[in-house]
Amino acid sequence: MVRASAVKFSRAVDFHFPPHYSLSTRILPYTVTNLMQFDDYKVVLYRQQDGSWVAEIPAISGCYALMPTREAALTELSAVFRLIADEYREKGLSLPSDTTEIVNA
């Protein structure tokens, strides 16, 4: 029996393997990583009435940035995404998939 814990598991998981498998064969196929990256998400960018810019990833709750320029909002959004992704990873959770659908642009 091999005890493994990986990013997507909320707790350690026991795997039972036939004795003829090597240790690397036992662990590598079951190593799970969080594959969602910043570029995998749709970003919504819009300007507010006061002239400030909002950049957000609608698929991830709380993932937004409000800055004075478009470029600053996008840069800050990237930093916010990294912080949220780190929190998910520390908790052993996967980031949500992007289900954002553009209806009218």
Residue 71's pLDDT is 98
**Whole-model pTM above 0.75?**
no
Domain encompassing residue 17:
1-33
Provide the domain count of the chain. Answer: 2
| Whether residue 29 is found in the same domain as residue 40 | no
CB neighbour class for 41 (10 Å; exposed up to 12, middle 13-18, buried from 19): buried
Beta bridge mates, 65: 55
14 in the same domain as 50: no
* Same domain, yes or no: 10 and 23: yes
- The helix (run of H) or strand (run of E) holding residue 88 is helix 70-90
102 assigned to some structural domain: no
Give the tens place of pLDDT for each residue, 22-32.
444 444 343 44
Distance between CA atoms of 16 and 69, rounded to whole angstroms?
54
pLDDT average per 10 residues of sequence, the chain (105 residues): 40 46 43 72 97 97 97 98 96 94 83
